[in-house]
Amino acid sequence: MNTTVICGAGIAGVATAHYLKKLGSTDRIVLVDRAQPLSFTTAASGENFRDYWPQRCMQDFISNSLKLIRELDDDYETLFSFKQTGYEFVSQDEDREIFPSDDISNDEGARAIQRILSPCLHATRPYLGDNIKQVTQITQAGSFDVYSLGQYLYSQARAADVEFKQVTVGNIEMSPDGTYALSLHQGNEASILKANTLILAGGPLTPKLAACLGIKLPLLSYLQRKIVLNDPLSIIPRDMPFTIFADPQHLSWTDEEKVAFSEDAELQWLLNEFPIGLHIKPESDSQIKLGWAYNRKSEQTEFTAYDDESFPDVVMRGASRFIPGLAQYIENMPTPITQIAGYYTRTAENWPLIGLLQENCYTVSGLSGYGTMAGCAAGELCAQTILDEQLPWYARNFDPSRYQDATIMAEIAAISSDGQL
């Protein structure tokens, strides 16, 4: 019997295992991970989804993924706490085009975008500042419980005889016959696992796995963060939708602070323009969750992401720009603050990398800040590719060979928004 080894049991790896079995793979399938399944980047997910993307390939890919989630189980809403509560983009400019005009989703009436202007918007959103002049709603968006979804896929895979080994992959070598030998270790124990088919699904560590085989992947990793903290002043209503600030901004500082930062090379970045995308939602009974993917500096990936002491202050200052009540927390931050950090591992165009890398070696990676909503379609596409099934049209856009395809490169060159939040 042939053996397929999947390196990495995040959402990409477990979904690939599930769809390989669902689509009829007769291989022995072994999932390997240095830690418990779903415990690395997947555990950092903000658990949001949106069926709204700037390019057709991403739109169809994510739509398919959400369809696959719904098809997993008739009771998916309860099982995965799947809630379509919508997203609201807010702006200080009533004329701002929240989505670029070349955004394909704008053409689709079915995508239900609604624009609400000032003063109407404040009647039902008293928490927003008077400076907010526009709210653009997307209804096909919301949240789900990522761990429940991942566990469901993992349990289905295990029930279909997929094996799991908690080991670290230290090295991978390709044999002349096109098979692979993985050097594994756990504590002091070392072993070799042979694979006829190899799938690299190591999330941020995928480039390191590929490097063992001399393959350089076009992926960079950026640490991004969220914080969860109490909201003792009840600034955020419990039924507030996921709310995103759609304007770039400079944080507000006193004149003394501005002078001090401008003279300190380590702190000058605090005076820079920050990007759009700061987002807030209510969390559990009395907490709030805030995130802002403003980090544009890629870095070497590690298994332990470090806390950034400046993040809570920066994100609270940014958030008070559209929800002024939150300014009360800048000098008096409720504790404890839980910081959740993880890598957005992405290609420059923010499309995933799914397909063949070299003989019998595939990857499902580059899932950036959308991997938990995309997990099912990513796993399905990887499995379809390996099993030589008919592929969805977008497969060519995500195949690692796309960088040699002039037509796709022209599409990539024309991208005006990479859709990152």
Ligand X SMILES: Cc1cc2nc3c(=O)[nH]c(=O)nc-3n(C[C@H](O)[C@H](O)[C@H](O)COP(=O)(O)OP(=O)(O)OC[C@H]3O[C@@H](n4cnc5c(N)ncnc54)[C@H](O)[C@@H]3O)c2cc1C
Based on CB atoms, which residue is closest to ligand X, 10 or 400? 10
Number of chain residues interacting with ligand X (CB under 6 A) = 43
DSSP state of 99: S
Percent of residues in the chain assigned helix, strand, coil, to nearest 5? 30, 25, 45
Stretch that binds ligand X, among 114-122, 243-251, 313-321, 335-343 (CB under 6 A): 335-343
375 and 65 in contact (C-beta within 8 Å)?
A: yes
Q: Which is nearer to ligand X, 5 or 121 (CB)?
A: 5
**Of 359, 245, 354, whose CA–CA distance to 292 is shortest?**
245
C-alpha 321/C-alpha 246 separation (Å) is: 11
Radius of gyration of the chain (CA): 22
Contact region with ligand X (CB under 6 A), list: 322-330, 354-362, 368-376, 408-416: 368-376
346 binds ligand X (CB under 6 A): no
**CA triple 70-73-75, angle to 5 deg:** 90
Indicate which single residue of 18, 21, 34, 125 sits in contact with ligand X (rule: CB under 6 A). Answer: 34
Q: Does 42 bind ligand X (CB under 6 A)?
A: yes
- Interface residue with ligand X, options 5, 20, 32, 326 (CB under 6 A): 32
Alpha carbons 350 and 345: distance in angstroms, whole number: 9
Q: Could you tell me the smallest distance in angstroms from the CB atom of residue 146 to ligand X?
A: 7
Nearest distance from C-beta of residue 101 to ligand X, angstroms:
26
CB-facing half-sphere around the CA of 59: CA atoms within 13 A:
14
CB of 61 or CB of 261, closer to ligand X: 61
Contacting residue, 31, 172, 201, 408, with ligand X by CB under 6 A: 201
Which listed residue (198, 205, 251, 278) binds ligand X by CB under 6 A? 205
> Alpha helices of 289-419 — where are they, by DSSP H?
311-319, 371-386, 395-398, 406-413
Binding mask 45-64 for ligand X (x = CB under 6 A): xxxx----------------
Residue 371 makes contact with ligand X by CB under 6 A: yes
CB of 250 to ligand X, least distance (A): 23
Question: Cβ closer to ligand X: 169 or 280?
Answer: 169
Distance of CA 367 to the CA centre of its chain: 6
Report whether 382 contacts 362 (CB < 8 A): yes
Kindly tell me which of 92 and 372 has the beta carbon lying closer to ligand X.
372
Does position 384 interact with ligand X (CB under 6 A)? The reply is no
User: Of 300 and 407, which has the nearer Cβ to ligand X?
Assistant: 300
Beta strands in 201-262 (DSSP E): 220-230, 242-245
Rounded CA-CA distance 295/274 in Å is 9
- Whole-angstrom distance, CA of residue 222 vs CA of residue 295: 7
Q: Determine, following the binding rule CB under 6 A, whether residue 150 of this chain makes contact with ligand X.
A: no
Residues of this chain that interact with ligand X (CB under 6 A) are 7-13, 32-35, 39-42, 44-48, 168-169, 201-205, 209, 224-226, 340, 342-344, 365, 367-373
